[in-house]
Amino acid sequence: MRIHIATDHAGLEFSTQLQHHLAERGHEVVDHGPIEYDPVDDYPAFCIRAAQAVVADQAAGVEALGVVFGGSGNGEQIAANKVAGVRAALVWSIATAELAREHNDANVIAIGARQHSFDDVVGFIDRFIETPFSGDERHARRIAQIAAYEADGSLLPDPRA
Kindly report the number of other CB atoms within 10 A of residue 71's CB atom: 17
CA distance 22 to 2: 10
Interval 19-73: pLDDT, tens? 999 999 999 999 998 888 888 889 999 999 999 999 999 999 999 999 999 889 9
Q: Could you give the 3-state DSSP secondary structure of residue 2?
A: strand
With contact defined as beta carbons under 8 Å apart, do 50 and 80 qualify?
Answer: yes
Q: What is the pLDDT of residues 74-119, one digit of tens each?
A: 999 999 999 999 999 999 999 999 999 999 999 999 999 899 999 9
Q: Is the pLDDT of residue 142 over 90?
A: yes
Alpha-carbon distance of 13 to 69, in angstroms, equals 10
Q: Which of 13, 98, 103, 150 is the catalytic position?
A: 103
User: What is the reported pTM?
Assistant: 0.93
pLDDT at 75: 95
Asked if residues 33 and 15 have their Cβ atoms less than 8 Å apart, the reply is yes
pLDDT surpassing 90 at residue 10: no
Residue 135 has pLDDT above 90, yes or no: yes
Please confirm, yes or no, whether 27 is among the known catalytic residues.
Answer: no
Write down the catalytic residue from 76, 137, 139, 150.
76
Is position 103 annotated as part of the catalytic site?
Answer: yes
Nearest to 25 by CA among 128, 99, 94, 97: 128
